[in-house]
Amino acid sequence: MIHLSARDDSSSLLEIGDAQSDYFPGTHEVGTLEVAVGTLDQFLGDDEIVRPSMLKLDVQGFELQALAGCKSMIHNFDFIYCECSFVELYKNQRLAGEVIDYVRELGFSLAGIYNPSYDGDGNCIQADLFFNKVAA
């Protein structure tokens, strides 16, 4: 089930948390919808990825699960770019530190942090993380 947000860009496979609505007003849940999900290799073949290649994720708190669903094809990518949160915006989401650790285990290193969002106290809520494949 996908949890539909009042704003399309905030819908998630995870339940929308209170912090999401607090930090980003107008993103509260307005319903659910059953959707099909699968691993990347169910939708794309190795021969369809042209190098250099980048895996781009913006899955509203579902980053770690989405990366796990790409694991069998991760060797085809030279870069990963994904939005990650530093606070729990969606219930049971994995935070940026866990995603960074997982991507490191896949053979990538953090190369940049872009488009950060901050709360009123100057704490980073979320940002886009850019990873490079580590040379073998």
Domain boundaries, the chain: 40-133
Reduced to 3 states (helix: H, G, I; strand: E, B; else coil), residue 18 is helix
Question: Is the distance from CB of 11 to CB of 2 less than 8 angstroms?
Answer: yes
106 vs 9, 35, 42, 92, 101, CA distance in Å? Answer: 27, 28, 20, 22, 9
pLDDT at 79: 98
State which amino acid sits at residue 100.
I
Question: Is the distance from CB of 31 to CB of 99 less than 8 angstroms?
Answer: no
pLDDT at 30: 96
pLDDT at 36: 93
Give the pair of three-digit tokens for residue 87.
């606070």
Instruction: In whole angstroms, give the CA distance from residue 32 to residue 4.
Output: 5
pLDDT at 13: 94
pLDDT at 8: 86
Q: Is 28 exposed, middle or buried (0-12, 13-18, 19+ CB in 10 A)?
A: middle
**In this structure, which topology does domain 40-133 adopt according to CATH?**
Rossmann fold (3.40.50)
Task: Categorize the per-residue pLDDT at 124 as very low, low, confident or very high, splitting at 50, 70 and 90.
Answer: very high
pTM given for the model: 0.92
Average pLDDT on 109-136 reads: 95
**pLDDT tens digit string along 57-99?**
999 999 999 999 999 999 999 999 999 999 999 999 999 999 9
